[in-house]
Amino acid sequence: MALWGGRFSEGTAETVFALSRSVHFDWRLAPYDLRSSLAHLLTLETSGLIEKSDAAAIRGALKELSVQVQSGAFVASDGDEDVHSALERGLNEKLGVLGGALRAGRSRNDQVTTDLRLFTIDHILEIARQITLLQIAILEKAGEYVNDSAPGFTHIQHAQPVSFGHELAKHAQAFARDLDRINDWLARTSVSSLGAGALAGSSLPLDPEATANELGFNSVFANSIDAVSDRDYVAEALFILSLIGLHLSRIGEEWSLWASTEFAWAKVSDAYSTGSSIMPQKKNPDMAELARGKSGRLIGNLVSVL
């Protein structure tokens, strides 16, 4: 199912549909698309563009569809072009032609960037929560060793004596900067694009501020063309994630070194270690090594988007 039509007298070639089909990528936006649809429905209703009885029916169908998406009872089909067309199909299956009323005043352009902003904010805030928990754990452990001396290293050579707690706490400081970057990023990203239309807004009496408030955004777009074309927030998010990955990589590198027989500074739990297929005495800090390696993928994703 495609959401576009109009002047076309021929159907889409199968090869064109296969090349442009994106639902296998953007299906993860489904919960956010349903949220933005509920917010758009509210402004259509309050503006008098949809009868209250029709709005109630659409709202009920959207909420039912949301439950089905979450449970896996509703999924995209082979004929769906993208997440938007898949969910509209689901809505039409429940409501018939009434499901199409939700298209009024909305383009896939302002729809998809709104969904993507919601998705990115949701996931970055969850990462911020986990980083905060990691910070707390690091600082608690640093407090246990604040009075214990250890050699400080440069070039992996003894340099100056330091507190081992001080050595550990440096990682918490790096994560504090990551959290600052996330807060700074959020101020630019928490901007609603709904109401921008394809690029020049809509002639319908919509209320972009109402939809922004409904979705929890801090502000509304200032320029409709920029609103639908901006993906700065994605690149910035990937940059922040790349730095977080590098900071985790530093911890992984240290733990791999400290857990070695030569250092013997740290002991990694068996639950977070692996062994050898031929050397039974081995205990490998694979999780620390994987943390180092996976940071490269984050950098690759950033470069790919840029």
Q: Write out pLDDT tens, residues 259-277.
A: 999 999 999 999 999 999 9
Q: Write out pLDDT tens, residues 78-104.
A: 999 999 999 999 999 999 999 999 999
Q: Write out pLDDT tens, residues 2-58.
A: 665 666 777 778 898 889 899 999 999 999 999 999 999 999 999 999 999 999 999
Q: Which residues are catalytic?
A: 155, 276
- Residue 3: the pLDDT is 60
Instruction: Lowest mean pLDDT of 90-104, 126-140, 160-174, 264-278, name the range.
Output: 264-278
Rounded Cα gap, residues 297 and 249, in angstroms = 12
Q: All domains of the chain, ordered by start, with CATH?
A: 14-104 (1.10.275.10), 110-305 (1.20.200.10)
**Predicted TM-score (pTM) of this structure:** 0.92
Q: 197 CB contacts (<8 Å, ≥6 apart)?
A: 105, 106, 107, 109, 110, 224, 228
Contact 134, 141 (CB under 8 A): no
